[in-house]
Amino acid sequence: MKKTITLILAILMLISPLTLFANAAEAHSGITFERMETNGIDHPIGYYTTEKRYEKMPVTFEAWVYVPKSIYSSRCGAILGNYQSFSKDDYVNFEIHSNGIPRLVFGDNSGNMYDYKFARAPVPADKWTHVAIVYGTGTDGNQISCYINGAFKQRTTVREWYSAPKEVLDNMICLAGDYRALNEQAFRGTLGDVWVYSDIRSDAEILLDYQNGPDLSDTELMLFYELSKAGSKSDVPDKSGNGYDMTYSRYWLTEAEMNAIRAEDEYEYEYAIAFLPDIQYMTQSYPASLQIMIDYLVEKGKTKNIQYVLGLGDITNSNSQKEWATILRQTNRLNGYLPYALTPGNHDGINSGGKEVLDSIYAKKTGHYYQSVEKNGGFFEKDSVRNTYHIFSVGEVDYLVIVLDFGATDDILTWAGELLDSHPDHRAIILTHGYLNADGSTLDSNDYASPDTYVRSLNSGEDIWQKLVKKHENVAMIVSGHMHHDTIVCTPREGDAGNTVYQILMDPQTTCKKLGGLGAIGMMYFTADGNHAKVEYYSTVFGKYFAESNKSIKLTLGKDEPEETTAPETPAPVTTAAPEASTDTEAPAEKSGCAGIISTASVILVVLCFPLFTKKKRES
């Protein structure tokens, strides 16, 4: 009997490395991400994001990848990432770098980058390969290990960064890319199954993961994307059950595609407010694009019933006389046609040491803008247009727009609070350049580019929330720019009175710079009663809808009037029998990786062992 068992084990050992391991790669598949060119810039046609942040620290990263020889010498791109385009940021990216080198890179808010590349563990070209990186290995937990096809290949010592691991959890994660403009480091090969654990996987566990795929019963499994069974250009569910589902979104939509989306909307929209986010690079380098954007407002002012044009700051890039002259030419085209509000950004004075240029042009008491503000609102300071308020009405809704300087100081916030108190029946929209971060949280002193990191006496976004916004029930939204992000970010937050305040970020500045002028406008459309609104992101230069517009931001700003109805007759009580218990049972989850091959091996084992079982039965 021992000889028989030894023979069986020998056969299985023979099958395992030569057949199971080889077929694991040969049988694999995944998604290749289609790319396009816009104005000479190559980028993917879409991106994958989740609405959920990491709840635990990711420690073990695994993926099946296929790196084509045609791109092997260049960066293949990010597998999972939440890098946000800033050198001072909190993030963790799992990538394949140039020449197939696996890479794990962390960053923190102090500008430190902890970059681990595994040059002795390259992914081969034109072959499906399983790659795993495990953080915190070694006897003292200060090493990172890399595995290729289940086998240990390289280990490197970790430089100390782990004092604040929660920071990398702040930004929501992307699949097959990160949050760089136009997802420029998106995965350029074919990406198969991807999964992450929150614990340190051993050598033996990594080998099993390579053979069988992730252990779905493991409570430390954080997320699992089975791209070998996913459809291209479609949402990807998280099969770990932890809810990190990835939503697929397109970068560009045509008018026809947007009309198809609009046809499913439950509301009809009657008027609009246009938001102009961070136009600094058009002002500085692409004035033709700036003109196209203003052309759109002039042309569509009546057909789209635009009520107001609201700037979000960084009107210029270097606060120069030349740039302000460019802006003045364009805003003069709106004079007497569309009312507008100018919001100053850090590039309009803070960065270059003063406010003189903005006010020397727009605070002239004989100028159109100054007189318009004076007639329809007012100023914090009579000789400055950096802090203003604007009042207008549409139908039965009275609006109060308050413009706050970058990092508005306490005395400015007190002034704004008094305005809100004296206009309790007005729906308030607050504009300020630096308020919301790209991860949807308010900027504070721990964040890169928070206003108080420029000048200590300035208020951060969170300061503005605590000192002003949350205290006033009539604040409907606060809208800002400053922090680059390709999509519109909207974070509802509850004020002290239980009211909902929509915190909104719009800032495509980096993409605008890359594409030579984007001319992006956030068009906020309202129902006739003003109670419902949505935002569409439109590139006036390219004539397409940009990024977030395929799942447009929707806002509920008031209560619908109840329809008059007659009370129905009280029906007789109905007794309903309890539903019968279901006799259906859930089918067991399919195993990924080599499950089918392992099942074949199991059959062989049963066949070989059957004579032993029958012999034992006869003997008993």
Whole-angstrom distance, CA of residue 117 vs CA of residue 134: 13
How distant, in Å, are the alpha carbons of 236, 570, 601, 609 from that of 8? 41, 75, 10, 8
Whole-angstrom distance, CA of residue 405 vs CA of residue 230: 47
Whole-angstrom distance, CA of residue 80 vs CA of residue 183: 12
In sequence order, which ranges of 332-381 are alpha helices (DSSP H)?
356-362, 368-376
Per-residue tokens: 440: 């949807």
CA atoms within 13 A on the CB side of 479: 30
Mean pLDDT in consecutive groups of 10 residues from the start of the chain, 620 residues: 42 41 63 95 94 88 98 97 78 95 87 90 98 88 93 86 56 92 95 96 97 96 96 94 95 94 94 98 98 98 97 96 96 97 93 74 96 97 96 97 97 98 98 94 90 94 98 98 95 97 97 97 98 97 89 85 51 37 34 38 37 36
Q: How many CB atoms sit inside 10 A of residue 268's CB?
A: 10
Whole-angstrom distance, CA of residue 239 vs CA of residue 589: 10
Type of residue numbered 605: L
State how beta strands 544-546 and 532-539 pair: antiparallel
Predicted pLDDT at 513: 97
In sequence order, which ranges of 263-380 are alpha helices (DSSP H)?
280-284, 287-300, 321-331, 356-362, 368-376
Q: Which burial class, exposed, middle or buried, applies to 509 when counting CB atoms under 10 A from its CB (0-12, 13-18, 19+)?
A: buried
Query: 300-334 burial string, b = 16+ CB within 10 Å, else e?
Result: bbeebebbbbbbbbbbbbebeeebbebbeebbeeb
Single out the residue of 240, 309, 258, 244 nearest to residue 279, CA to CA: 309
Predicted pLDDT at 166: 58
Per-residue tokens: 308: 């107001």
Output the DSSP codes for 151-172.
EEEEEEEPPS-TT-GGGGGSSP
DSSP single-letter state for residue 19: I
How distant, in Å, are the alpha carbons of 13, 163, 253 from that of 543? 61, 47, 9
Whole-angstrom distance, CA of residue 109 vs CA of residue 293: 35
Single out the residue of 183, 303, 179, 254 nearest to residue 546, CA to CA: 254
Per-residue tokens: 209: 């993961």
Single out the residue of 300, 298, 294, 272 nearest to residue 282, CA to CA: 294
CA atoms within 13 A on the CB side of 104: 26
Domains in the chain, CATH or no CATH each: 27-250 (2.60.120.200), 271-551 (3.60.21.10)
Predicted pLDDT at 25: 54
State how beta strands 397-404 and 388-394 pair: antiparallel
Q: Which helix (H) or strand (E) holds 136?
A: strand 129-137
Predicted pLDDT at 17: 40
In Å, the largest CA–CA distance within the chain is: 112
Predicted pLDDT at 52: 87
Predicted pLDDT at 531: 97
